[in-house]
Amino acid sequence: MSFYDATVPAYLQILGALSGILGKAEAHCKAKNIQEEVLLSARLYPDMFPLVRQIQTACDFAVKGCARLTGSEVPSTPDTEKSFADLQARIAKIIEYVKSYKPAQFDGADARDVTFPAGGGNLTMKGQQFLSSFSFPNFYFHAATAHGILRHNGVEIGKRDFLGVK
């Protein structure tokens, strides 16, 4: 399996699933007459990011992970979303960005040095370690937390929704 095949499809699968659960969250709000800001600001615990920030951060790990692994310029992703529609647009933009990568861009990425900001400084890891020890765990953590926030708040979603499986 190529490094591209181990990376891009995984990001795309969960980004698509995030779009799906946001669609169900929006429908839930309409059906229950809940202001969308209520869900967008919901948290699992007071010191955790709210739903909107969980989605933004998951998107960031996908887009910035691909950029760093391929040695591409890391795009700016300002956090300006305030609605389900805004978040859906962000996810769609990130999906198109991730899809724009070609397999050849990931050649040698597993052994490439990847330097990234962390903990107020910079860390450097080989691409394989960066992907498996930093980018994927953070990406999945924020996606799973977004799913958990919605589930905790009554949105009828389950594991298949998280996985993006019909």
DSSP secondary structure of 16-31? HHHHHHHHHHHHHHHH
**Residue 101 belongs to a domain with what CATH number?**
1.20.120.450
The pLDDT of residue 37 is: 97
43: CB partners within 8 A, 6+ apart: 49, 50, 51, 149
Phi/psi at 114 (5° precision): -120, 120
CA distance 53 to 143: 10
Domains held by the chain: number: 1
Domain containing 59 equals 3-163
Say how many C-beta atoms besides its own lie within 10 A of residue 27's C-beta.
Answer: 13
Token pair belonging to 29: 């709000």
The pLDDT of residue 162 is: 97
The pairing of strands 121-126 and 113-118 is antiparallel
Token pair belonging to 109: 């990425």
- The tens digit of pLDDT for each residue in 99-118 reads 999 999 999 999 999 999 98
Selection from 97, 87, 94, 98 nearest residue 20 by Cα: 87
The pLDDT of residue 119 is: 87
User: Which residues in the chain land under pLDDT 70?
Assistant: none
The pLDDT of residue 166 is: 77
